[in-house]
Amino acid sequence: MSTSSSAAPALRVAVLGVGMMGQDHARRLASVINRAELVAVSDVDAARTDAVAAEFGVRAIHDPMAAVADPEVDALVIATPGFTHEELVLAALAAGKPVLCEKPLTTSPESSRRIVEAEAALGRQLVQVGFMRRFDAEYVQLRGLIASAELGRPLFLHCVHRNASTPPNFNSAMLVLDSVVHEVDIVRYLTGEEIVAVRVLAPRSTSAAPEGLLDPQFVILETESGILVDVEIFVNTTIGYEVRTELVAERGTARTGLGVGMVTQTTAGWGGRIPADFKERFESAYDVQVQRWVDAVRAGTIDGPGVWDGYAAAAVCAAGVRAQQTGERVEIALGARPA
């Protein structure tokens, strides 16, 4: 097997559960992630498994437990329903295979605890949980700010978590279990503290919520050191997706999720930072450019500015230098463009 980046072979990954999240992970492994290879998909829905496997040109394995055991599979992404996680993760641990498990790890503290014990008995960490906010640039920055103690001890975290609407069968407990779970983890990640108490309040529910769904809710968490965390969870706003976190610390505040990077307030005023250079500002554009070029070239074409664009730029810039030197308006004539 060849790999573009090192002598080590690519990681052969199977995705278990190919509903919305699982399909998205399959696509990511097949077309975005370097140094990994999507080799199989598995779902209890055999027809769906076959369809997704065909889409990505990989094996369909109808029994997820068989996928865990498969010798051609190095590692697993688990995106099946939460109630199946315990069995699958324990099997992976038994097989010594690494797992990236979508949240929740399991659906009860007891079952999660059993996994903790099993992994501890194994003596090495094989299981990662899919709390992806820890990889979001703003949260990483906010955590660094807290760790630096530059603003002193944290006092509050004010959180907002909003969705436009909910799928059918979403119930009141799921606002906590499926949505606030992200804030639960991110609070632990940001503060490095365990959460020791919780309250849940609620205003009247919105008329946009399905009958019987308590939405929105207001969840108040307390951490070990006494940081107070409030979370507005509102999942039928009709509007869009909004996640914001405001840190209030002893000597300043910081807000993320405003869409302008992290904004701090200190005695020096409010504000943010300016990118240092073009790499920081346009890194993503460079990545997209090269990936799209690679894909176009493999299809025998280009996907971006061509030589005419390069020529036109050269002509305008040459005229620009003349304009600079003369102080005059300089006209540009490109001539006929080849067919």
Binders of its own copies among residues 75 to 94 (CB under 8 A) are: 75, 77
Please list, in sequence order, all residues whose beta carbon lies within 8 angstroms of the beta carbon of residue 209, skipping any fewer than 6 positions away. Answer: 166, 215, 235, 236
Binders of its own copies among residues 222 to 241 (CB under 8 A) are: 222, 225-228, 230, 232, 234, 237-241
Q: Which is nearer to its own copies, 64 or 216 (CB)?
A: 216
Please compute Rg for the chain using Cα positions. Answer: 26
Q: Which is nearer to its own copies, 88 or 101 (CB)?
A: 101
Q: Considering only 45-53, 60-68, 149-157, which stretch makes contact with its own copies by CB under 8 A?
A: 149-157
Q: Which is nearer to its own copies, 46 or 144 (CB)?
A: 144
Q: Which is nearer to its own copies, 49 or 236 (CB)?
A: 236
Please list, in sequence order, all residues whose beta carbon lies within 8 angstroms of the beta carbon of residue 267, skipping any fewer than 6 positions away. Answer: 251, 252
Cis peptide preceding 305, ω within 30 of 0: no
Binders of its own copies among residues 7 to 66 (CB under 8 A) are: 7-8, 10-11, 13, 24-25, 28-38, 56-57
Helix (H) or strand (E) holding 189: helix 181-191
Helix (H) or strand (E) holding 241: none
Q: Would you state the structure tokens that stand for residue 164, as one six-digit string? A: 């436009």
Q: Considering only 46-54, 59-67, 135-143, which stretch makes contact with its own copies by CB under 8 A?
A: 135-143
Per rule CB under 8 A, is residue 272 in the interface with its own copies?
yes
Which of 50, 87, 136, 150 is the binder for its own copies (CB under 8 A)?
Answer: 136
CB count in 10 Å sphere of residue 254: 23
Binders of its own copies among residues 171 to 190 (CB under 8 A) are: 172-173, 176-177, 180-181, 184-185, 188-189
Cis peptide preceding 216, ω within 30 of 0: yes
